[in-house]
Structure 1
Amino acid sequence: MSSAGNIKHIARAVRNVVWQPTKSKTGGFSSQEVFLLLGQPENLVHEVLFHGTRGNGKSASLLMGFGQHVGKGWGPFWKGVILRRQCSALSDLIDESHKLFPRLFPGAKYNISKRIWTFPTGEVLIFEFLEKNNQYEKKFHGKQFTYIGLDELTTWATEDIYERLLSTLRTAYQPTKQQPLMPPKQIRATTNPWGVGKQWVKERFIDGKRSGQIERTTRTLLDVNKKPVEVSWSRVAIFGTVFENDYVDLEYKAWLMSLADPVLKEAWLYGNWEVVDDTAMFAKVWNRDVLLMEPFTIPAAWKVERSFDFGQSTPFCCLWTAEANGESVTVNGKTFCPPKGSIIVVGEDYGTPLNPDGSQQKRDLGLFLSAGKMGQRLKDREIRLQQTILRNHPVVRPGPADNQIFNGSRVDNGNAPTVAKELASAGITFVKSDKTAGSRVTSAQLMYERLQATIDDSPDKSHIYFFSNCKFLNKSIPTLYRDEDQPDSVKKGADDHAWDALAYRLTWKRPVTSIQQGIR
């Protein structure tokens, strides 16, 4: 039977019972039908993200992605798990499963305490939650699944749990006459373009790809007989809209269309990944058109310093900042005169492995450089800046750094090596940052005030601007979220190192020189 015939057969089978996938209004397959098709052995795509608007039937598809292979001959080898980040968030999925499974599969039993469906032909589906990385070891390490579903993928701040779960996507099934095919191992995720994990999900599934474009990678491995075998892996994002879903009432669709918040409307009604999530820390005061600037030569009278967040297994970040003194400068034929004390971030070096196209190979992965090599790299970067935008600044002043680079400074009467000493040997020096209690709240508040002053063009408050060449900082700031336990500070997370380097600069109090003291 062809793929199209197969999906229509499935649709007819379930139509007489409980559920059928939505139908396209323009011909062809709907997003739900495509989702099911890509889970069939002959059309298998290993990773599928079902995204788009609210109310497009993603959660039901997640259940039926597993259900379509119950009774196909794989028995207990067709074993699935569907996850949410928190246990309380599972209730809607579990309720939906109780509406579907008992009628689709008479004899299916549900264990309330273990949150497990067991089907008459031996298949098993588990509902589980994973909030923290350390829960993976206890709940999943060493287990095997052929179907993994993650609902609301962007509620996970990083890809760590997702990638760890991929290690459990395996099977010991051996083909039989009754079922000669291997189980179609697959991982499925659903989400709206909203939430703390939006950036990593967007980078993995959306960026640089056309809608529905299947990304395929192939590796050559050796089998048990040491013969080369090509192993492929595939990934795709499917877009679905609420207007496909006739099971959603008109009042709900009208509510989505009437949303007053333009950001929410873009995300929830149109599934737009490019809007800035206004639950992010600085979203309401982030305006790229105002804040980002093309590089220009920094005047000699402006102060220039470097600030630094250290990392080896995770990225390090060095930022070069200029502080305006009230002097104007001509930029692209226009006069630019930010208030005295305004900060312009003019350069960055973000220590992470890059792909040939300049994209990051893996989020939050460092270069594993020694402090000496790190210092030389930073010095080389600084020299390049001094040949261009910092040509008026043959000396860059030491600014604040992560205080851990000074660890060990009191060991062996001060003779023990430290990261700070190794960096200094390359000509890159720093001073200590403010890590006192409350400094994280202070840095976030100072940032908020500067951003607000900039977009309001306040003449009597210090602004902040960013050169467009600081791509990691500029990308990360709109995706920083509030700490759940301390809402007025930035939540720690992957790839927040550029922010840390900037936060040290924001809270740093430049030492008063003897000349300044004499003036006073």
Structure 2
Amino acid sequence: MSGIRIVNPYKPQPRQLLFHTCPADEVLYGGAAGGGKSEALLQDAYKNALKYPSCRIIMFRRTFPDLERSLILRSRQIFDPRLGKYNESKRRWTFINGSTIEFAYMDRESDVFNYQGAEYDFIYWDELTHFTETQYRYMISRLRGKTPIKRQIKAATNPGGVGHSWVKARFIDIGEPEKIHKPKPTEDEPKPGTRCFIPAKIFDNQALLKNDPDYLRRLESLPTKERKQLLEGDWDSFSGQAFDEWNREVHVIKPFKIPDTWKKFRAVDYGRTAPFCCLWFAIDQDHNLYVYKEAYQAGLDAVDQAKLIKRMTGPDEKIEYTILDSACWIKNQYGESIADTYENNGVPVEQASKDRLNGKDRVHAWLKVYEDSKGNKYSKLKIFSNCVNLIRTLPALPLSERNPEDVDTDAEDHAYDALRYGVMSVPDPREYAPIEQHALSHIRKDDDYLPHALQDDEDNNYSWHDL
């Protein structure tokens, strides 16, 4: 780029500057509306493309229309045409130092396989909560290359959307914002990278407030949930939440030994590329329903799913029946269905109800929170704390924009579908009068049954200058 004088008029706001300079492996910038998130993403990609010759960069939005009217349009306004050319058919900028910025969308979970074998030095996600965790985690494996530079994944988002729950768990719940956190290894992520969340609010974008002073007033006039989400960047509730009855203190309990006399059954949502989910249920004598175990894994065929379910079912567990998605009765070219495969591998199954709307209504009925004469809150549905994926995804499900009476099926709804199948196989809880006394009071020992909030493990936190 010899002989070309580069003048970029972009002057980052203080939190945008933190986003640009943060050295964490994964950086999330966002929270409230109007914080200059998309601008920060584009400017960060532009900076890295010019700084590192032959650098490969990709930027994602969930759909092509979103991509075209935001990142692509803005890039053509701010990228200097003397430094690079834009190829419209390939949706790619190629700069004179050999670096590229590719714009891409990922509408379906299976779209991840379009990037098998790809390599990127930087991956950017605009509106990260519009994506699923499967999509995000797959692309982590594409962050690689031969040049010795610091590779990063950087994202921006508001609360809400199909990915609200996993984004919150990955970036918000791990610790204090504006600090880099090193998560503890897990079976799914034996070597996690460092992460940092940088909150952004409208007051961080003084340029926007100066150019459009009424924008703040419009945000302040929104209904409570939308205002908390978009103005305050509140991650604990969001507009369009499908199950706002959810209360972790009420619905999540410590595991205990299920009595042999209780009725037990299972419900399965089939998936192969997407995770399959099997939930184990038990009903006590007072018609309280317990979800006490879960299997949740992607990449398994029907044979391996059936074997996993059998392996996770104890020899003394008397399972009365197993409910499976009704679509699994479709025969393949060899005359065998997924249901047949389950049966042939030791898991007899029955068809789940296809009624989505009544199923959702039944989940609401089971989640309903009651209050006794002493002010104690309780519910007919109780979920053991080891069912981490159901606990993670159920409260984060948004309503469908196309059909507000249903959940958004683009969200991570696998555990919800299994729950819906399960509750539709037992009587409606509204047929039974709620009782004030907690179930199990007659057999409870100590406080093993008392509802409790899950506590996060203490992470190893450190600030940037410690690195």
Q: Same fold (TM over 0.5)?
A: yes
2:350 corresponds to 1:432: yes
Counterpart of 1:308 (choices 228, 244, 267) is 267
Determine the C-alpha separation between the residues in 1 that align with 2:118 and 2:325. Answer: 41
The 8 Å contact of residues 251 and 383 in structure 2, kept in 1 or not, is answered as no
The amino acid of 1:20's aligned partner reads K
Could you tell which deviates more after superposition, 303-312 or 245-254? 303-312
Give the aligned partner of residue 20 of structure 1. Answer: 11
Change in CA separation of 1:149 and 1:444 when aligned onto 2, cut-off 3 Å: same
Give the 5 Å matches for 1:236-385: 236-249=196-209, 250-261=213-224, 263-275=225-237, 277-283=238-244, 285-286=245-246, 304-309=263-268, 314-322=276-284, 324=286, 343-352=287-296, 374-375=309-310, 377-379=312-314
Alpha-carbon distance in structure 2 between the residues aligned to 1:295 and 1:144: 43
TM-aligned CA distance change 1:151 to 1:308, over 3 Å: same
- Contact kept in structure 2, 1:292 and 1:465, CA below 8 Å: no
Q: Once the 2 structures are TM-superposed, how far is the Cα of residue 168 of structure 1 from its aligned partner? A: 2.4
- Which amino acid letter does the alignment assign opposite residue 350 of structure 2? K
Distance apart, 1:67 and its partner CA: 1.9
**Cα 1:153–1:479 shift into 2, 3 Å:** same
CA distance in 2, matches of 1:160, 1:376: 25
Structure 1 residues 485 and 345 mapped into 2: Cα distance closer, same or farther (>3 Å)? same
Counterparts in 2 of 1:18-97, with a 5 A limit?
A: 18-22=9-13, 30-38=14-22, 44-72=23-51, 74-75=52-53, 77-90=54-67, 91-97=69-75
Q: CA deviation at 1:484?
A: 6.6
Give the C-alpha shift of residue 70 in structure 1: 4.2
CA distance in 2, matches of 1:198, 1:67: 28
Change (3 A) 1:97 1:58: same
Q: CA deviation at 1:233?
A: 3.6
Aligned counterpart for 1:441 among listed residues 357, 371, 376: 357
Change (3 A) 1:96 1:209: same
Cα 1:399–1:492, aligned 2, differ >3 Å: closer, same or farther? Answer: farther
8 Å contact from structure 1 (residues 148, 188) kept in 2: yes
- Could you state the TM-score of these two structures normalised by the residue count of structure 1? 0.64
CA positional deviation for 1:266: 1.7
Partners of 2:126 and 2:305 in 1: CA distance: 41
Residues 349 and 378 in structure 1, CA contact (< 8 A), matched pair in contact too: no
1:433/1:201 CA distance change after superposition, 3 Å: same
Matched residues, number: 397
> 2 CA distance for matches of 1:273 and 1:162?
19
The separation in 1 between residues aligned to 2:251 and 2:109, in whole angstroms, is 35
User: Equivalent residue of 2:384, what SS?
Assistant: coil
How far apart are 1:88 and its partner, in Å? 0.5
Deviation (angstroms), 1:196 = 0.6
Change (3 A) 1:211 1:380: farther
- The CA distance in 1 between the partners of 2:200 and 2:134, in whole Å, is 26
Do the aligned partners of 1:318 and 1:501 also contact (CA within 8 Å) in 2?
A: no
- Structure 2 distance, partners of 1:381, 1:311, is 25
CA drift at 1:496:
4.2
Conserved 8 A contact 1:298-1:322: no
**Partner residue, 2:457:** none
Q: What residue number does 2:443 align with?
A: none
Cross-structure match for 1:355? none
Larger radius of gyration, structure 1 or 2? 1
Residues 1:149 and 1:296: Cα distance change in structure 2 (over 3 Å) = closer
Does the C-alpha gap of structure 1 residues 456 and 509 become closer, same or farther in structure 2, counting only changes over 3 Å?
A: same
Structure 1 gaps of 5+ residues are 1-12, 23-29, 39-43, 174-181, 220-230, 325-342, 353-362, 383-395, 412-416, 425-429, 458-462, 511-520
Label 1:398 to 1:214 Cα distance change in 2 as closer, same or farther (>3 A). same
Q: Offset at 1:288?
A: 5.6
State the 1:485 CA deviation.
Answer: 6.7
Deviation by residue 1:65-93 (Cα, 9 ceiling, x = unmatched): 12223443x32x22212110101101222
CA contact (8 A) 1:214 1:235 kept: yes
C-alpha spacing 1:251/1:183, structure 2 compared with 1 (3 Å)? same
Deviations 1:182-225 (A, max 9, x none): 33322111111111111111122222322123134799xxxxxx
Aligned to 1:166: 140
| 1:398 counterpart letter in structure 2 | E
Identity %: 26
From the superposition, tell whether residues 490 and 399 of structure 1 become closer, same or farther in structure 2 (CA, over 3 Å).
farther
Unaligned runs of 5+ in 2: 186-190, 335-339, 373-377, 428-467
For residues 289-339 of structure 1, the C-alpha deviation after alignment (integer angstroms, 9 at most, x for no partner) is 776789999999x98443432779744211113474xxxxxxxxxxxxxxx
* 2:38 alignment partner, SS class: helix
SS of structure 1 residue aligned to 2:12: coil
Kindly indicate whether the alpha-carbon contact (under 8 Å) linking 2:84 and 2:96 is maintained by their aligned counterparts in 1: yes
Task: Give, in whole Å, the separation in 2 of the partners of 1:186 and 1:346.
Answer: 42
CA distance, structure 2, for counterparts of residue 233 and residue 509 of structure 1? 44
TM value normalised by structure 2: 0.70
Aligned twin of 1:506: 423
**CA deviation profile, 1:253-284 (whole Å, cap 9, x unmatched):** 222223223x2122111112122x3323333x
2:204 maps to amino acid:
E
- Give the Cα separation in 2 of the matches to 1:85 and 1:375: 37
CA displacement at 1:239 relative to structure 2: 1.3
Instruction: Compute the displacement of 1:347 (Å).
Output: 4.1
Deviation track 1:41-83 (CA, whole Å, cap 9, x = no partner) reads xxx32211112211111111101112223443x32x2221211
The Cα of 1:97 is off from its aligned counterpart by: 1.8
Q: What pairs up with 1:203-242 in 2 under 5 angstroms?
A: 203-216=169-182, 233-242=193-202
Contact 1:154/1:191 (CA < 8 Å) preserved in 2?
A: yes
Could you give the per-residue CA deviations for residues 379-411 of structure 1, whole angstroms, max 9, x where no partner exists? 4785xxxxxxxxxxxxx782552278x989xx9
**Residue 155 of structure 1: how far off its partner (Å):** 0.4
CA gap of 1:403–1:89, structure 2 versus 1, over 3 A, is closer
Match of 1:467 among 377, 382, 394: 382
| CA-based RMSD | 4.3
Higher relative contact order (CA 8 A, sep 6+): 2
In structure 2, the CA distance between the partners of 1:316 and 1:146, relative to structure 1 (3 Å rule), is same
C-alpha change, 1:55 and 1:323, in structure 2 (3 Å) is farther
- Give 1:131 deviation, angstroms: 1.1
- Tell me if structure 2 keeps the 8 A contact 1:400–1:504: no
**C-alpha contact (below 8 Å) 1:290/1:455 kept by paired residues:** no
Contact 1:82–1:151 (CA under 8 A) maintained in structure 2: yes
Residues 37 and 309 from structure 1, CA distance in 2 versus in 1: closer, same or farther, beyond 3 angstroms? same
